[in-house]
Amino acid sequence: MVRLTIDGQNVEIEEGKTILEAALKANIHIPTLCYLPEVQAIGACRVCLVEIEGNKNLQAACVSPVSTGIKVYTNTERVRKARRFSVEMLLSNHPFECLTCPKNLHCELQSLANELGITDVRFKGEKSSGRIDESSPSIRRDQSKCILCRRCITVCKEIQTVTALFAQGRGFDTKVEPAFNRDLGEVACTNCGQCSIVCPVGAITENEDIDGVWEALADPDKFVVIQDAPAVRAALGEEFGLPPGTLVTGKMLSAARMLGFDRVFDTNFAADLTIIEEGSELLKRLREGGVLPLITSCSPGWIKFIEHFYPEMLPNLSTCKSPHQMLGALTKTYFAEKMGIDPEKIVVVSVMPCTAKKFECERPEMRSSGYKDVDYVLTTREFAKMIKQAGIDFVNLPDGHYDDPLGEYTGAATIFGATGGVMEAALRTAYELATGMVLESVEFTSVRGLEGIKEATIPVEGIGDVRVAVAHGLGNARRLLNRIKEGRGDYHFIEIMACPGGCVGGGGQPIPVNNEIRLKRASALYAEDRALKFRKSHENPSIKKIYEDFLGKPLGEKSHKLLHTKYTARSRF
């Protein structure tokens, strides 16, 4: 243990920790900007400066290790002036467009300027030139707002192992962008949106689709349907001041109805459907000697990753579409037929924890209904903005309900939002389908939690030991795929989610996201699972009905047309 004093207060902390961590332990707040726990500590922005007695220069607290006996001061005149100077320098070339910026009131630079009491910027210099890049349906970049903190580069390179962005050039002319001045929409970007989660300012945000949705809602000729992904209900409350981990399913459904949607469906219904189709696909491949391991396909960020970086493994992917695309296709066929509504007039809006799904719904394969199966994808953050724009008092809303026939869901569906959830849901169903026996203990806890790669072996009568693995975050996915390619992993079934923690940590979720918040959101979903009457997808009465009335059988002709898809090998550049 190391003993030091911070502002005269004695602090004891383990060796190797930083002054910033020691201050946090002593409840002393040091402002930070480029620092982001679990992502990066590089001491670049010079905002977390502190004075250490006997030290000539001020030190960046985020990268300065503690040592015994040092006396640290975090609130001297010199420190205050230096921090203010650093932020004023950043502001001197920052566009003052706060009122119209998508990050207005959610911007860390804005909060910091306020916190440090900056009311005037003394330096009037050249502004960073920069263009707006809207080439990606998922991500919008406004380079003029970039403060070069490099958080996006670190998350993209170190955690996701994609490196779609990098600092190009040097000095004042440095730009964070792909090589050769290319747009993000043209390069090997997975659209996972983790960069938009970590960007402290308005330089990287989702490409918003709110206006299109308002237009559809205002059009009396349109029949507008909404669906919400499982992870949304575990995080949406945070946008309205509720603590992370608050489950807001009922309020979310009520809000959707108040916004004027004609039907409130639930992506969870299609998650149950995915399990039936994917579980059948797994059993078929196991019994008939198909390509193994079978790898899940619910995460469009993951899909784009494998298309760019491991195209030789595309035959391993399940052909199942992601659940919201299945629901879109069924809305414009099954539901439209049943209700006698012209599918051309139906507008499907998906509320997703995800930015990659904005790209996914634009894919040419996603038109199996004969129309664009999903018209708009909104992130959890955008949906919260709409609720605020509508003046809805979200926190005090009564609990609402989803509509039939595409709303009912089981506990297996709702845990899709957490890493390991799809695996667990699939095991619950595949076990019973394969053995014809009732699975008494439905919780497969070995695939839960935040370990990067999780493994389990499940004995299934008639099939033998089924070896499974789960990876979340694309860096972990890459490690797992390399393990398989090198012949060091002999699995039957693998779940991969692009975002760390799975969809609860998705690129479209409320900011901030860290491991503590990921776990709290996941536990909200596991709690909903425990509270539901049906916890296995094949027990969902609406699922049984749609096979009887419309789809016929799993992997049947209609399923093949509406619920399954194909993939495209893409360039690594």
Partner 1 sequence: MSSEGHCRCTQIEEESLYTELEKILEGHKGRGKDLIIVLHKAQGLFGYLPRKALEMIALELDVSINEVLGVVTFYNFFSTQPTGRNSIKVCLGTACYVRGGPGVLKQAEKDLGIKDGETTGDRRFSLGVVRCIGACGLAPAMIVNNDVYGRVKTTKIMEILEKYE
Q: How far is the CB of 163 from partner 1 (least distance, A)?
A: 3
Instruction: Judge whether 415 and 529 are in contact, CB under 8 Å.
Output: yes
Within positions 252 to 291, which residues make up the interface with partner 1, using CB under 8 A?
Answer: none
The neighbour count for residue 185, using CB atoms within 10 Å, is: 17
Q: Indicate the residue among 173 and 465 with the shorter CB distance to partner 1.
A: 173
- Work out whether the CA dihedral 520, 524, 525, 529 comes out positive or negative: positive
Angle between helices 108-115 and 77-92 (to 10 degrees): 140
| Distance in Å, CB of 244 to partner 1, minimum | 33
Q: Could you give the 3-state DSSP secondary structure of residue 539?
A: helix
177 or 424: whose CB is closer to partner 1?
177
Crossing angle of the two packed helices 267-288 and 421-435, in degrees rounded to 10: 50
Q: How big is the chain, counted in residues? A: 573
Q: Indicate the residue among 113 and 484 with the shorter CB distance to partner 1.
A: 484
Q: Which is nearer to partner 1, 179 or 339 (CB)?
A: 179
Q: If DSSP states are collapsed to H, E and C, what string results for 112-157?
A: HHHHCCCCCCCCCCCCCCCCEECCCCCEEEEHHHCCCCCHHHHHHH
Q: How far apart are CA 467 and CA 116, in angstroms?
A: 54
Nearer to partner 1, 167 or 531 (CB): 167
Tokens of 168: 């190009």
Residues 143-202, interacting with partner 1 (CB under 8 A): 157, 162-170, 178-180, 187-188
Minimum distance, C-beta of residue 571 to partner 1, in the bound complex (Å): 10
The dihedral region occupied by 434, where left means phi > 0, alpha psi between -120 and 50, and beta the remainder, is alpha
CB of 369 to partner 1, least distance (A): 37
Cβ of residue 510: shortest distance to partner 1, in angstroms?
A: 28
Residue closer to partner 1 (CB basis): 171 or 462: 171
**Shortest distance (Å) from residue 37 CB to partner 1:** 24
Site string (108-147) toward partner 1, x via CB under 8 A: ----------------------------------------
- We find the least distance from the C-beta atom of residue 264 to partner 1, in angstroms, to be 41
Name residue, tokens 């910033």: 20
Write phi, then psi, for 385 (nearest 5 degrees). -60, -40
Residues 73, 74, 80, 86: is their CA dihedral positive or negative?
Answer: positive
> In the sheet where 59-60 sits, what is the strand order?
9-13, 2-6, 71-73, 49-52, 59-60
Which is nearer to partner 1, 178 or 554 (by Cβ)? 178
Shortest distance (Å) from residue 166 CB to partner 1? 4
Between 160 and 268, CB nearer to partner 1: 160
**Cα torsion at 2, 5, 9, 11 (round to 10°)?**
-10
* Cα 50 to Cα 32, 72, 111, 147, distances in angstroms: 11, 7, 20, 22
**Residue 40 main-chain phi, psi, to 5 deg:** -150, 150
Active site residues: 278, 281, 298, 318, 357, 360, 365, 503
- Which are the contacts of 317, defined by CB distance < 8 A and separation ≥ 6? 294, 295, 297, 303, 306, 567
Can you tell me the distance from the alpha carbon of 60 to that of 217, in angstroms, rounded to the nearest whole number?
A: 50
Distance, in Å, from the CA atom of 234 to the CA atom of 45, rounded to the nearest integer, reads 33
Please give the size of the binding site for partner 1, defined by CB under 8 A: 17
CA distances for 363 relative to 138, 270, 305, 356, 571, angstroms: 12, 19, 15, 11, 17
Tell me whether residue 157 or residue 467 sits nearer to partner 1 (CB atom). 157
**DSSP-derived secondary structure for 26-80:** TT-----SS-BTTTB----S--SEEEETT-SS-EETTTPBP-TT-EEESS-HHHH
Q: Which residue has the tokens 């634009």?
A: 362
Nearest-approach distance from CB 310 to partner 1, in angstroms: 13
Smallest gap, in angstroms, from Cβ of residue 165 to partner 1?
6
- Assign 3-class secondary structure to 345-409: HEEEEEEECCCHHHHHCCCCCCCCCCCCCCCEEEEHHHHHHHHHHCCCCHHHCCCCCCCCCCCCC
Contacts to partner 1 by CB under 8 A:
157, 162-170, 178-180, 187-188, 572-573
